[in-house]
Amino acid sequence: MRRESGIMSRREHMRREANMERVSEGTASPSPTWGLWKRWMMPIGLSLSVILGIGLGVWISGGTSARQSARPLQVSESRVAPTGALATALALSEAFAQVARQVEPAVVHIETEAIRTGRRSEEDPFDFFFGPRGRPRRGTGSGVIVDPEGYILTNYHVIRGASTIRVKTFDGKTYTPEVIGVDPETDLAVIKISRSEPFPYARMGDSNKLRVGDWVLAIGSPFGLEQTVTAGIISAKDRITDGENAPFQRFLQTDAAINPGNSGGPLVNLMGEVVGINTQISTSTGYFNGVGFALPSSLAVEVYNQLVRRGRVARGYLGVYVKPVTPPIARLNGLKEPQGALVESVTDPESPAARAGLQTGDIIVELDGEPVRDSRDLTRRVASMDVGRTVRLKYIRDGREYVTSVKLGVRPSLADRREEPLRDEPRGKNAQPPEERKSSGPPRLGAKLEPVTPHVADVLKLGAVRGAVVGEIEEESFAETLGLMPGDVILSINRTEIRSPEDVKRVFEGLKSGDDVVMIVARASRGVGPSRSVLSGTIP
């Protein structure tokens, strides 16, 4: 048994060695595990190889196949008629495009040049040898042809002071225009270009029929970009802006974009009619902020007709400087609320107002039976009346009503006048002093006063009238609040005549905190001699 076992062990050993040799030569039979791997994994590997091969072929040839199969890109043509909101929007878009096509040929681009002289520049050596030279100041604006003969409406400020004006029309041709007339009060001007054949022109519409919310287009040359069209709505009507032109201008407000260079261009409705002349913007940046202003066509037509007919606009004229009625003045004259126009001064002894007996301190409350809202309302209405017309005025003096008739004269143009046409704002701060300045004693004016000397009386043409001359004024004093200025002569306080500084002191001794003060003073005005001013305030 032992020997057989030994022999079997030896044979088994020999078989193992033989198997090992076959394995080393790659001829050995696989184990059961290897057989399973070969049975399942080899088909999977073959499949992966096929897939990778196909993918690689697609990757290599795919670009060419995609290009060969792509169809040419074409502009689509809608075969379905739009309905509902889309149809409405497309109709509005078509209206905008039609208006632009209709009006653009009448819109012109205006370029100006003015020679500006100034002090010699230390950085320019030529100025030292040849003296100061003129430096050109260039500007651009817009305009609109409103007559086939070439008459153009634009803004006065577009061509103001220009030595050279060039007008470029829609077809690219350039003309040198003739200035027909200007109206600084409304900031409108008419110029004319000429050629043998008629010009395309725009029709004037009725701005009085406009409604807030109506669509409008602004056309012009913002920043020199000619024939630019922007859209918006009428945001408001009868807007009043600050400035010396305020009594003569009532603006249309729009959110159609208006920028520098748009001035003088048309604002048009969806009928293609000019309903305004784009004039200015309200901005803190110098560029459009959503608030633009256009002079209404009703005003533009009126000014245009006068400029074409006689080269200037003739306006009715009373011959008074007027300002708003303040609460103290209203209370002193028995008015329930501030209304009317306060006569601050009469321009000259021969003016229509002077001949009718109007005086400083009068409050005009009615014109031809219609109430006067404020000083701007009076100025605008009188200016719109014919020269030579006789009007009926109702005014209040010292709390009593009076009526007079005035034959209107010719209002001097702003370009001819040497002083502002009206003073709508009080000269001082017109603010009540702070509460902490109240005191229990008599109120103080806060100004040094001197008697009227013969020289002062002669300069201010006071004649036998005397008063108190204002000298140094204390800061944050009641005198400063009133708007007193050094050199003013106080003539009256609350209807009490002032003949000396002592009179001023006595009047103030009778006043207390909360009392109103209305003061008439004589003041040397710029260029035209002395004038009267009415100052008012409430004692703190």
Query: What is the phi/psi pair of residue 426, to 5°?
Result: -60, 150
Strands 203-204 and 273-281: parallel
Other CB atoms within a 10 A radius of the CB of residue 185 amount to 22
- What digits encode the pLDDT tens for the residues 294-304? 999 999 999 99
pLDDT of 120 higher than 80: no
Q: What is the pLDDT of residue 62?
A: 56
Burial category of 325 from C-beta neighbours within 10 Å (exposed 0-12, middle 13-18, buried 19 and up): buried
Nearest CA to 538 among 520, 519, 513? 513
In whole angstroms, give the CA distance from residue 495 to residue 332: 9
- What digits encode the pLDDT tens for the residues 159-183? 999 999 999 999 999 999 999 999 9
pLDDT of 119 higher than 80: no
Strand partners, 251: 239
Q: How confident is the model at residue 51 (pLDDT cuts 50, 70, 90)?
A: low
Residue in the block written with tokens 């006043």: 511
DSSP conformational letter for 56: H
- Residue 368 corresponds to which amino acid? D
**What are the structure tokens assigned to 237, written together?**
């009507």
b/e code 239-269 from CB counts within 10 Å (16+ = b): eeeeeebbbbbbbbbbbbbbbbbbbbbbbbb
DSSP conformational letter for 58: H
- What digits encode the pLDDT tens for the residues 257-273? 999 999 999 999 999 99
Q: HSE-up of 126 (CA within 13 Å, CB side)?
A: 4
- What digits encode the pLDDT tens for the residues 343-385? 998 888 889 999 999 999 999 999 999 999 999 889 889 988 9
Domains of the chain, with CATH numbers? Answer: 205-310 (2.40.10.10), 316-410 (2.30.42.10), 435-538 (2.30.42.10)
Contact call for residues 293 and 252 (beta carbons, < 8 A): yes
Total number of residues shown for the chain: 540
Nearest CA to 467 among 506, 504, 507, 500? 500
Strand partners, 397: 400
- Residue 461 corresponds to which amino acid? K
pTM above 0.75, yes or no: no
DSSP conformational letter for 441: S
Catalytic residues: 157, 187, 263
- What digits encode the pLDDT tens for the residues 445-483? 999 998 988 877 777 777 777 889 998 999 889 999 999
In whole angstroms, give the CA distance from residue 175 to residue 193: 6
Listed ranges 187-196, 437-446, 499-508; the one with the highest mean pLDDT: 187-196
